[in-house]
Amino acid sequence: MRKAYFDGTHRTRHPDQTWEAIRPLLMAYGITRVADVTGLDDIGIPVTMAVRPLARTLSVAQGKGATLAAARVSGAMEAIEAWHGERAVPTPEVRAPANDLGLPYPVAAMESHPGSLVTGRTVLDWITARSALDGEPVLVPAACVRLGREVHGQWRLHLPSASTNGLASGNTRAEAVGHGLAELIERDTISTLTGGRGHGQFVDPDSIADEHCAALIGRLRAAGAWLELWHLPNRFEVPVMSCYLWREDQPALLVSGSGAHLDPQVALSRAITEAAQSRLTQITGSREDIHPAAYRPAVHRRPEPAAGPDVGWSEIAARHATGFATDDGEAEHLAARITAVTGQPPLVVDLTHGLHQRREFAVVKVLAPALRYDARHVIPRPIQEAAV
C-alpha cells in the first residue's frame, strides 16, 4: 500500500486515523489506560504509557513520537503487540527435534538464552512461518515466538528464547513486516557495540537540516540537555542511528535510544524520541531492571564529548538514498538485504490470523536466523571511526 504519512515515520495512515480504528478495541486486549506521561519530564517530547494489568509480561508499554497522536498510537500498539505475542501464537503443528525436520537453517542460529542447551536433537514444538522473500512455509520453534511465563510443574531446558525483537505491528501486514525487519537490523547493529568494540560516526547536530529532527534537537537543547548523535555503519547498508542524552537533574544517567529505517531522517527521529522515552522510563520506574544507582543523589559531570572529527548530516543522507513509495517495496528490500548478508531469508509468523484477524491492523513476529541480539537495554557509546 502507498505511504501517506511522513512526519518522523512512514505509515500508510495518519496516526489520528489509526487511533480512531484501534481505540474501540483497547479493552479487548486488556488495555485499561493510555496515559500521556510527557509532563513528568520537562523536555517536551511526547511519551505515553499503555497499561495492561493482566499481562503475562510487562504490564506497561511505552510509546513515543514527535506528536502526542503518534506517541499515543505507538504506546497502544506496543501493548497490542505484546498481547498477541502472549496469546495469539498459532497452535504447534509438530513436536520433534530439528534434525528430523529438514530445516533450511540450524536451530542453534535462532535467538536463544545465554547458555542455551538446545541442539538439533532437542524435542521442540513447531509452528509455521513464511519466508519474507517468497512466502514459502518454514517451521520455526514456537518458543521463539511465544512471550510470557506460565506456572508449570516440569523441568525444562533453556529453550530458544522469545523477546519482543522483531515483534511488530502496522496498518497493513507489509508495514508490520517492514517495521520488524528494521528492528532486527537495528538490534543486530547495536549488538556490535558491546564491550566497547563497535565503531560509529559522530554526527554534528547543527548540520541537521531536516525540520522534524531539528525541532526535536531544539527541544532537548532548550531544556539544557547534553546530547550526542551517531551514525552506525553496518553490514546491511541500512541507516541506523543512536542518540545519547544526559541532563543534570538525573546526573547518574546517560540514557540512549536507537532507530533504523531506509530513510535516515526517520532512523534519527526514532533514536532521539527513544532516548527521551528512556528518560521517562527511569522517571516512572516502569521497568523492573532499572539499577538502584539511577536514583541515588550524587554529583556527576556531564559526559566527555566524543573524540575526533564529526561528520555532516548531508554526507550521511547522501550515502543512504534508497526509498520506496509503498510499504510492500520497503519490506521486500529489507528482507532481500538480510538474506544477502546472512544467506537465510527472514521468516514471518502472522499473529493476526484466524480468530485474531483484524482489518484495523496487523501484528507479526519476524525471525532472522544468524542475526545478533543483545537483550541489555543500554547502548554503549561507539568508538569514533577514523576519517577517510
- The single-letter code of the amino acid at 305 is P
CA-to-CA separations, 120 to 9, 109, 134, 140, 182, in angstroms, rounded: 40, 11, 26, 13, 29
The pLDDT value given to residue 210: 92
Q: What is the rounded CA–CA span in Å between residue 337 and residue 348?
A: 15
- Residue-wise pLDDT for 44-77, tens only, equals 999 999 999 999 988 999 999 999 999 999 999 9
Q: What is the pLDDT of residue 155?
A: 61
Q: Which residue, among 198, 268, 208, has the nearest Cα to 239 in the 3D structure?
A: 268
Distance from first CA to last CA of the chain, Å, rounded?
40
Give the global pTM: 0.94
CA distance 372 to 167: 15
More confident residue, 298 or 363: 363
Q: Which three cell numbers stand for residue 183?
A: 528492528
Contact 344, 103 (CB under 8 A): no
Residue 205 to residues 24, 190, 359: CA-CA distances in angstroms? Answer: 41, 21, 41
User: What pLDDT is attached to residue 386?
Assistant: 54
Pairwise CA distance, residues 266 & 239, whole Å: 9
The three grid cell numbers given for residue 58, joined into one nine-digit string: 510487562
Q: What is the pLDDT of residues 286-324, one digit of tens each?
A: 776 677 777 777 667 788 888 777 899 999 999 998 889
Contact 134, 346 (CB under 8 A): no
- Torsion angle of C-alpha atoms 357, 362, 365, 366, degrees rounded to 10: 130
Q: What is the 3-state secondary structure (H, E, C) of the chain?
A: CECCECCCCCECCCHHHHHHHHHHHHHHHCCCEEEECHHHCCCCCCEEEEECCCCCCCCEEEEECCCHHHHHHHHHHHHHHHHHHHHCCCCCCEEEEHHHCCCCCCHHHCCECCCCCCCCCCEEEEEEEEECCCCCEEEEEHHHCCCCCCCCCCCCCCCECCCCCCEEEECCHHHHHHHHHHHHHHHHHHHCCHHHCCEEEEECHHHCCCHHHHHHHHHHHHCCCEEEEEECCCCCCCCEEEEEEECCCCCCCCEEEEEECCCHHHHHHHHHHHHHHHHHHHHHCCCCCCCHHHHCCCCCCCCCCCCCCCECHHHHHHHCCCCCCEHHHHHHHHHHHHHHHHCCCCEEEECCCHHHCCCCCEEEEEECCCCCCCCCCCCCCCEECCCC
What pLDDT shows up at residue 158? 56
For 177-201, what is the mean pLDDT?
90
pLDDT per residue as tens digits for the range 223-241: 999 999 999 999 999 999 9
Question: How high is the pLDDT of residue 296?
Answer: 73
pLDDT for the residue numbered 216: 96
User: What pLDDT does 167 receive?
Assistant: 97
Give 3-28 pLDDT, tens digit per residue: 999 999 999 999 999 999 999 999 99
pLDDT of residue 165: 94
What is d(CA 144, CA 371) in angstroms, rounded to the nearest whole number? Answer: 13
- Calpha distance 297→320 (Å, rounded): 43
The predicted pLDDT at position 157 comes to: 60
pLDDT category, 387, cuts 50, 70, 90?
Answer: very low
Per-residue model confidence (pLDDT) at position 376: 67
pLDDT given at position 196: 65
259-270 residue pLDDT tens: 999 999 999 999
pLDDT over 90 percentage in the chain: 74
> Which tens digits make up the pLDDT trace of 108-166?
899 877 777 889 999 999 999 999 999 999 999 999 999 986 655 666 665 777 889 99
Average pLDDT of the residues of the chain: 91
Percent pLDDT > 70 in the chain is: 93
